[in-house]
Amino acid sequence: MNYCIPFNRDSKQLNSVQEIIIDYTPNKSEMRLQSFIDMYPDQRITLDLSIIPPTKELVAAVANLREGSNFAIRFDKKNVAALEAFPKLGVIWYFTNAAMTYDDIFSYKILGASEFFISAQLGFDLPHVKSIADSLDIKVRSVYAYGYEDIEIYKPYWQYFIRPEDVQLYGQYIDTIEFYGDPFVINVLVNAYQAGRWNGPLNEIIPTQKMTYDSRYMVSYWGRRRVECNRKCMYGGNCTMCEAIKDLSDTLAKAQIELPVEIRGAKAEQIIIDESALTKPKVKPNF
């Protein structure tokens, strides 16, 4: 899995990730584009146009990039000028808008996108999403947590996020994961995800989480199940897996039984849990 962060001079992770996002500034980005790419030869540089129409100078600068430059562009679907200009140049590009449905994935490919962001809902059906993406030869992108789901009607486990312990599992389905925040936060995030562990409550690094899931006491089955559960609980299903594992986590935390990383990480495929047993216990075990 590739890691992607926004450019900031104070970031300590610029040389440890695979992709760096830079913002487009008219009359400046055109002049510095090739020189900036040359400064980071081991990273892909992605220019974020958002909804700003590209200038003729920018289009010319992109067209004149040195052959082999590791470069991409991303922009909003509303940026018609960018959609008209850059696919013709053969440059790698993708929308900043997440694919909300499977139809979106197909439409993005038809338009010429090389990659696409997944929405929160698609993040709970990743084997299917990856199968479609592979058949279309298009890459899957994700942010590590979707902040726009931070609304009162959402239960914490309805929200889409990736635990550091589960990053190897998600790497089977996602090509690039993106982090956001100030340089200090991003430094902590990249370190945690590269190490595959977070020794504390998830709400310390995942802003959407108000419930205190503590990664030290979360079993691996939770991550493995969430990649393809389709959030049936959100649509009237009777799955209680998240509540049961939260109860187990709270019990382990109360007893101060911290799980080793190889047990709590979703890469631990050898651990089998009977899903039929994942219901809320009437009486918790008294450790």
The overall average pLDDT reported for the chain is 86
**Of 92, 74, 178, 77, residue with least CA distance to 138:** 92
Average of per-residue pLDDT across 166-194 = 94
| Separation between Cα atoms, residue 129 and residue 124, nearest integer Å | 9
Note the pLDDT of residue 159.
80
Q: Which of 234-238, 274-278, 283-287 has the lowest mean pLDDT?
A: 283-287
The tens digit of pLDDT for each residue in 182-205 reads 899 999 999 999 999 999 888 888
- Is the pLDDT score of 115 beyond 70? yes
Q: pLDDT above 70 covers what percent of the chain?
A: 87
The tens digit of pLDDT for each residue in 192-245 reads 999 999 998 888 888 766 666 888 998 888 888 889 999 888 777 788 888 888
Note the pLDDT of residue 222.
84
Domains of the chain: residue spans and CATH = 2-196 (3.20.20.70)
| Separation between Cα atoms, residue 161 and residue 163, nearest integer Å | 7
Average of per-residue pLDDT across 126-151 = 87
> pLDDT higher for 89 or 267?
89
Which residues lie closer than 8 Å to 257 by C-beta, 6 or more apart? 217, 287
Note the pLDDT of residue 280.
40
Write phi, then psi, for 263 (nearest 5 degrees): -90, -40
- CA 227, 172, 142, 82: dihedral to nearest 10 degrees? -130
Note the pLDDT of residue 234.
79
Tokens of 135: 């058949």
